[in-house]
A and B are shown apart, each in its own frame.
Chain A
Amino acid sequence: DQQVKQNSPSLSVQEGRISILNCDYTNSMFDYFLWYKKYPAEGPTFLISISSIKDKNEDGRFTVFLNKSAKHLSLHIVPSQPGDSAVYFCAASEWYTGNQFYFGTGTSLTVIP
């Protein structure tokens, strides 16, 4: 039973354009969300996070938006670069549980030069 869902297995975007990766969750108790980036043959690496007290968090080219009422978050990458090509995982947790995160199935992003 997937509590965190990424319904788009793959996404292709032209270099310089915006990439939008989406994530939905079912557990209304989740209050902390992260995005991870994974290159082939490597472990996932932390990219950006957001807590439920915010609806937006920005870090350079990466912005995460949270819509609590819709139980939806998205990651925007602007402008997209070929080095952004990777698998992106969305993760969610209840803050008080510490680090017990639930992950989505991932979206494979390809940025075309």
Chain B
Amino acid sequence: DAGVIQSPRHEVTEMGQEVTLRCKPISGHNSLFWYRQTMMRGLELLIYFNNNVPIDDSGMPEDRFSAKMPNASFSTLKIQPSEPRDSAVYFCAIGGASGANVLTFGAGSRLTVL
């Protein structure tokens, strides 16, 4: 996962607080994805960007979630206000980095909302 750096690795916050998760991908990719992992639903696609443009955000659960990609080397996923049911591991992934049709994932950000 050296190709995708996510921060923070762990976040514990209280209900109602704003949470910002960050992703720094390596260069050479053309698409970026945010996934959420839960026991019940596995890896859910939240949103993906192609050449920094949001293409499909239909997986974003509610208006409380927003994502930005201001440039090719940085993306954020924001939850405001956060709720306990948002507790999950959030993964950032990139596609096209090696030219193959394969996603490269970061190590994830584990979010706990109390």
Residues on A facing B (Cβ under 8 Å): 2, 6, 32, 34, 36, 41-46, 49, 89, 91, 93, 95, 98-106
B95 on the A face (CB < 8 A): yes
Contact residues of B between 86 and 114, Cβ < 8 Å to A: 91, 93, 95-96, 101-108
Residues of A close to B50: CB separation below 8 A? 98
Interface string of B76-91 (1 = CB under 8 A from A): 0000000000000001
Nearest opposing residue in chain B for A99, CB measure:
B95
Q: Are A43 and B102 in contact (CB under 8 A)?
A: no
Check A43/B42 contact, CB under 8 A, given A98-B50, A100-B48: no
Q: Are B108 and A43 closer than 8 Å at their CB atoms?
A: yes
Q: How many residues of B contact A (CB 8 A)?
A: 27
Report if B1 contacts A (CB, 8 A).
Answer: yes
Please report B residues at the A interface, Cβ cutoff 8 Å.
1, 4, 31, 33, 35, 39-45, 48, 50, 56, 91, 93, 95-96, 101-108
Which residue of A2, A36, A102, A105 is within 8 Å of B45 (Cβ)? A102
A32–chain B nearest beta-carbon distance, Å: 6
Considering only CB atoms, which chain B residue lies closest to A89 in the complex?
A: B43
- Chain B residues with Cβ below 8 Å from A106 are 42-43
| A102 surroundings in chain B (CB, below 8 A) | 45
Known interface pairs A43-B4, A43-B108, A100-B48; A6-B103 also in contact (CB < 8 Å): no
Whole-angstrom distance between the Cβ of B65 and the nearest chain A Cβ = 18
CB contact under 8 A between A105 and B40, given known A46-B103, A99-B101: yes
Contact, CB under 8 Å: B91 / A44? yes
Return the contact of A95 from the options B31, B101, B108 (Cβ within 8 A): B101
Chain A residue with the shortest CB-CB distance to B106: A43
